[in-house]
Amino acid sequence: MLHWRVLFERVLPIAILAVACVSVPWLIFSSDGLPRLDKLKTERAAVDEEISRLSQEIHELRAEVASVKSDPARVEQVARDELGLVRQTEVVFQFTR
């Protein structure tokens, strides 16, 4: 019984340390270690840039919506340009090529 206790107290910690000394560098330098970390950092930077761009676009669209809601001339311009609407008193000529 004393023999197992000595083995447990002295040999086991050394064995665990040896396994850690081999496995930790292997895990760090494997494809799931530092290279993946660098790839994830690059991906996060790209996503942060996309979020910033989309936030700016949302801000611009909200400003445009506010402009359309508050200005009747702007409403008419959007109706003409984007929807192709005309007044009842106007005549539309369409030419085909």
Give the domain ranges of the chain.
11-83
Distance CA(36)–CA(43), nearest Å, equals: 10
Higher per-residue pLDDT: 66 or 48: 48
Enter the pTM of the model. 0.52
Instruction: Please report where in the chains the tokens 């702007």 appear, as a residue.
Output: 74
Radius of gyration over alpha carbons of the chain, in Å? 34
pLDDT score at 36: 84
Phi-psi region of 3 (alpha: psi -120 to 50; beta: other; left: phi over 0): alpha
Bigger pLDDT: 4 vs 78: 78
Q: Report whether pLDDT(1) > 70.
A: no
Length of the chain, in residues? 97
Beta strands in the chain, from DSSP E residues, in sequence order: none
**Percent helix, percent strand, percent coil in the chain, to nearest 5:** 80, 0, 20
